[in-house]
Structure 1
Amino acid sequence: MPNILPTQAVPDFSVPLIGGGTFELSEQLGDNFTLLVFYRGVHCPICKMQLRELQRKLGDFEKRGINVVAISMDSQERARKSSDEWDIKDVTLGYGLSEEQARAFDLYISSGRPDSEEPEVFSEPALLLVKPDQSLYFASIQSMPFTRPPLDELLKGIDYALENDYPARGELAQSR
């Protein structure tokens, strides 16, 4: 069973940011939601495409009152390389997420392949929408790098949820 169900509080956490400062969830919640984009790291070409798309759509999220941050377990050096080489200068980019922090969000953890540029340990991708009360509203947590949720579809869903006061779904714990 997942550690966090929709409507339950998500753990507070902080990570350093490229460009300086720190992202601390409880201090930077959006007016309507906070979108946490957990990405695999600089080694992942699919993450590169996803974060470039996110760069193009940042204004769409911001006008909906959504604070956006992309986070990885990458080191500062690797995260800076993502920022510099991926043309995502406006995306708030956090790095240094610990394995413990990643597991607290139910992220899948992988070991790097020795024949690749993957780090020794990294988290797989996820998108989480967190409400201003720091409760989980939506989660898409993946065990593989491919088939990411399209951001346009996410934005449409957010519009529907906001217009219709749509409740979080999947909130019932499994009974035994």
Structure 2
Amino acid sequence: MPGLTAGTAFPATTLPALGGGTLTLGRTAGAQDWQLVVVYRGLHCPKCKAYLAKLEELLPGYHAEGVEVVAVSGDPQEKAQAMADEVGLSMPVGHDLSIAQMNALGLYISDPRSPQETDRPFPEPGTFVINADGALQIVDISNAPFARPDLEGLLGGIRFIRANDYPVRGTHEAT
């Protein structure tokens, strides 16, 4: 499974955005010069709802650190909108992440357990912090909904990195 290497350029990935237009992962659109991309499993996932609610709560802190926050999934527009409405998301939300895009980001992909869960393959959680140079500063990929970075700890880490010009870690490739 190909994955992204810390410190390398994050591949610009364009998705449709809720509210119209597009959202480009890896490229900030506002005043912030870093971007946090949170890939969530979909509307069917109660763990995702709780995680995104916590992320929404911490949004002002991320913005204060110069980090644009976006959430994306493979859900179609209707389900992504239902998630945004249910959780009360104010951050940009991208939808219709394709399987090819999931693969390009090195995400694990799961099939639904039943039609009641969802109707298509979906990504497992992924968290990407892209720095001002467009490079992948932090990456966390999980194969299950139960393992994700602590959002308060991640925010604290970003504060430390930015305040101390801390380098990208984990760039040594195993042989």
Normalising by structure 2, we get a TM-score of: 0.93
Contact 1:160 1:166 in 2 (8 A): yes
Q: CA, structure 1 residues 10+26, in 2 after alignment: closer, same or farther (shift >3 Å)?
A: closer
Match of 2:128 in 1: 128
Alpha-carbon deviation of 1:87? Answer: 1.8
Verify the 8 A CA contact 2:32 2:63 in the aligned structure 1. Answer: no
| Aligned 1:136-151 pairs, distance under 5 A | 136-151=136-151
- Is contact 1:32–1:64 with CA below 8 Å preserved after alignment? no
Match of 2:71 in 1: 70
Mapped to 1, the partners of 2:27 and 2:169 lie a distance apart of 25
How far apart, CA to CA, are the structure 2 residues paired with 1:41 and 1:131? 26
Distance (whole Å) between structure 2 residues aligned to residue 174 and residue 139 of structure 1: 17
5+ long unaligned stretches in structure 1: none
- Deviation readout 1:106-144 (Å, 9 max, x if unpaired): 100000112532232000001110112211110111000
* 2:10–2:26 Cα contact (<8 Å) kept: no
Amino acid at match of 1:76: Q
1:154 and 1:27 map into 2 onto residues whose CA distance is: 20
Alpha-carbon separation, structure 2, partners of 1:24 and 1:147: 25
State the 1:27 CA deviation. 4.2
- 1:33-54 Cα deviation digits (max 9, x unpaired): 2100000000000000011111
User: What is the DSSP-based 3-state SS (H/G/I as helix, E as strand, rest coil) of the residue aligned with 1:78?
Assistant: helix
- Determine if contact 1:75/1:95 at 8 Å carries over to the other structure: yes
Contact 1:5 1:171 in 2 (8 A): yes
Matched to 1:64, the amino acid is E
Shift of 1:26: 5.1
Structure-2 residue corresponding to 1:109: 109
Match for 2:106: what amino acid? Answer: D
> What is the percentage of aligned positions where both structures have the same residue?
38
The residue number in structure 2 matching 1:45 is: 46
Which residue type is aligned with residue 18 of structure 1? L
Instruction: Return the letter of the residue paired with 2:165.
Output: D
Contact 1:111 1:122 in 2 (8 A): yes
Q: CA separation in 1, counterparts of 2:152 and 2:135?
A: 23
TM-score normalised to structure 1 length: 0.92
Residue type of the partner of 2:136?
L
Give distance in 1, aligned partners of 2:135 and 2:62: 19
